Amino acid sequence: MQKLFFLSFVFLLSCSVGKSPNKFSDAGIVKIYDLKDRRATDSLLIFLRSENVSYRREAALAFASVQDSLASLSLGTALLEDPDNEVKRNAAFSLGQTGGTQAVNALIPAIEISDRNVLSEVLEALGKTIQKEDIKILTDFNSKDTLIEEGQARGFYQLSLRRKADSTVTIKASEYLDSKKSFQTRLAAANYFARSQKLEGENFNERLINAAQMDVHPEVRMASISGFRHIEVTKALPVINKISISDKDFRVRISAIRACQNFPLMETQDIVFKGLEDPDEMVRVAASEVIRSKIEKPLNRLSPSISSANNTRVKANLYAALLKSESPEGFVQEIIDNYQTASPYYKANLLSALGEAQGANQAKAFEFLSQELLNDKNEKVITTSAADAIVSINRNFMKQASAQGGWTVYPPLSASPTTMDPTLFIGVYKKAIAKGDEAVSGIIAGALMNKDLHYKEQLTDITFLKEAKAKLSLPKDLESLQPLENAIAYLEGREKPAPLKNKFNHPIDWETVKTINSDQKIEIKTSKGTIVLKLLIEDSPGSAINFVELVKRNYYDGKFFHRVVPNFVIQTGCNRGDGYGGEDYSIRSEFSLRKYNTGSVGMASAGKDTEGTQWFITHSPTPHLDGRYTIFAETISGMEIVHKIEVGDKIIEARLKD
């Protein structure tokens, strides 16, 4: 018996010793993913015709990231003729990602395919690609299977993102809100209403209101209430009020507060100001953002709310609302006084508030903002916030000047607390750009090409912009180079340049990829607690190994969460701390069939193939990111910490977990 046990143990050991931690022990799969990373369409097409079904599957999926229309004909052939259903499904996804006439021509006949997984993907891909004249193909399709119905609902959602939906789509989407439908079907239908720009009629009102209040899943409730802008105010506000107070999930309450942005603040102020008292900080932040964005007239309850606010982001937003609506004397100085002892991110928020200054307050705010913009000792987040705020004052100043009889070029004046002059902005802009900060250069370049600011009439010498551009390079400075190129072209009277693109510059280290377990965990210790991620090395090897390499270098230790959008994302990984930072390389976008759900971890980017060091975690499902931002990990524990993270919280340590 002991001998039998020993032999069994040896057999099991021999089976496990040679086992690879992930699928990249296969040289063919490595080759396919490397060709995808290099965007090598011709070579990938060879694998799409391989006798090895695994290679055909991987090649078909690879084109979802490559997105080359030259592959559409071959992908269409794979969709309609390949004997393997997984190849078909991957081909359908890639055609949806690529778009174009050839993609549509392959997807339309594919609705005859019987496999439910393939057909579900085909229906969603049709929503990404068809034009209005073909919408009936999607709406008339009779989905008799839950999975297929989910694909059709996601197809409707994709039409809403593309502004292609019509009333027939709306009617069908409203039917899919029914509680008897699957969770994924209801979620897609709710997001259809959340993302649609303008819907006609009222035949969906009752279903949408019912879903917002009664659906068992908070994800459906929050998406449904985001669609309330399509409902008449007298019907919408009582429901919004009820949900904003009573729903147990703070994310739903955030969505209810945000729904108030679609109506005048004078009608929603009771709801929104009540939101400032919510026990959850992110709800209070959302309420303050709505007040700031919607305020037009003075409100007596605003000043007391500032005094009682104990969250710095809330307080700064309320200061901004006050300056925007009343321009009371003394409040600019109060903000400046608070600024002196504030933390860097609170300082940044206060500077942003000063950007809302109106009338007589603009000169004093401009003077202080200019001082902080040109102060070399300030943190980057303060510098960029000052630049943004000055541009905001610039826009407001010119708007007021136009309202008072048109824009006029005034003679140069010296800055003083009570005098404003358009040429003052040019002087500060030139000084700021001369300092060479790439983010500031990009922000100011964006202002200089704003037609409403009339810089084309004022700036005859743009040498300072060309000198700033010469200091920047790809791939690191893409976000600043593009607006600089656009501004120079605009000021010289040329056509807008083509978008800049990063060349392939950071090959994947495949030998290291092969050593990473398919369920590798990463532990992120933050100032609020610990979050554990599971890497998706087999879905997104380039992004995952980039993350691993940065973790091994302790790159993320000490980095701030510089961006937190309530019930959307927390974002980190910026070496500047303001969202404009990164290293001098970029990696490729990697798109898979995986969807953005609660706790998905994605790579931040400035467009396709511009990813680097910044990443984010989602608070809730965010389907508008699907197929647009790489998902390279999932949160497996610590979502309660994710929900608590605020701007300015810090990563203490990030480590690979055994």
Do both 473 and 555 map to the same domain? Answer: no
Which residue's entry shows tokens 């000084």? Answer: 431
Residue 363 lies in a domain: yes
- Here the tokens at position 460 are 């005859």
pLDDT category of residue 405 using cuts at 50, 70 and 90: low
Q: What CATH number does residue 535 fall under?
A: 2.40.100.10
> Is the separation of the CB atoms in 472 and 441 below 8 Å?
yes
Q: Which domain holds residue 381?
A: 331-491
pLDDT tens per residue, range 244-281: 999 999 999 999 999 999 999 999 999 999 999 999 99
Same domain, 535 and 608: yes
Q: Is 649 part of a structural domain of the chain? A: yes
Q: What is the pLDDT of residues 595-604, one digit of tens each?
A: 999 999 999 9
In a domain, 188, yes or no: no
Q: Please give the structure tokens belonging to residue 420.
A: 């404003």
Give the CA distances from residue 230 to residues 78, 205, 241, in Å, rounded to whole numbers and listed in that order: 41, 8, 16
- Token pair recorded at residue 167: 């009333």
Residue 413 is assigned to a structural domain of this protein: yes
Asked if 123 and 90 count as a contact pair (C-beta separation under 8 A), the reply is: no
Looking at 459, 491, 523, the residue that finishes a domain is 491
Q: What is the mean pLDDT of the chain?
A: 94
Contacts of 605 (CB under 8 A, 6+ apart): 589, 611, 629, 630
Across 143-158, average pLDDT? 96
What is the distance between the alpha carbons of residues 220 and 650, in angstroms, rounded to a whole number? 31
Name the residue among 521, 564, 145 with its Cα closest to residue 348: 564
Residue 161 pLDDT greater than 90, yes or no = yes
Distances (CA, A) of 83 to 52, 56, 86, 444: 12, 11, 9, 56
Q: Are residues 561 and 518 in the same domain?
A: yes
Q: How far apart are CA 391 and CA 539, in angstroms?
A: 41
Residue where a domain stops, chosen among 437, 462, 491: 491
Note whether 452 and 574 are same-domain residues.
no
pTM over 0.85: yes
Same domain, residue pair 641 and 516: yes
Q: Could you tell me the CATH number of the domain that includes residue 341?
A: 1.25.10
Residues 552 and 621 in one domain: yes
One domain, residues 349 and 417: yes
pLDDT for position 162:
97
Do 482 and 621 fall into the same domain?
no
* Non-local CB neighbours of 390 within 8 Å, separated by 6+ positions: 355, 366, 369, 370, 373, 425, 428
Statement to judge: residues 395 and 442 lie in one domain: yes
**Is 2 inside a domain boundary?**
no
Residue 522, in any domain of the structure: yes
The whole-angstrom separation of Cα 219 and Cα 210 is 14
Same structural domain, 452 and 587:
no
Q: Which helix (DSSP H) or strand (DSSP E) does residue 602 occupy?
A: strand 600-603
pLDDT above 50 (res 459): yes
- 412 with 531, same domain: the answer is no
What is the identity of the amino acid at 450? N
Question: Model confidence over 290-348: pLDDT tens digits?
Answer: 999 999 999 999 999 999 999 999 999 999 999 999 877 788 999 999 999 999 999 99
Q: Which of 345, 354, 341, 340 minimizes the C-alpha distance to 390?
A: 354
Q: Are 68 and 36 in contact (CB under 8 A)?
A: no
Is position 609 within any domain?
yes
Q: Is residue 209 part of a domain?
A: no
Distance CA 38, CA 57 (A): 18
Q: Above 50 in pLDDT, residue 5?
A: no
Domain count, the chain: 2
97-133 per-residue burial string, b: 16 or more CB within 10 A, e: under 16: bbbeebbbebbbebeebeebbbbbbbbbbbbbbbeee
Q: Please check whether residues 606 and 637 belong to one and the same domain.
A: yes
Is the pLDDT reported for residue 535 higher than 50?
yes
Cα 232 to the center of its chain, rounded Å: 29
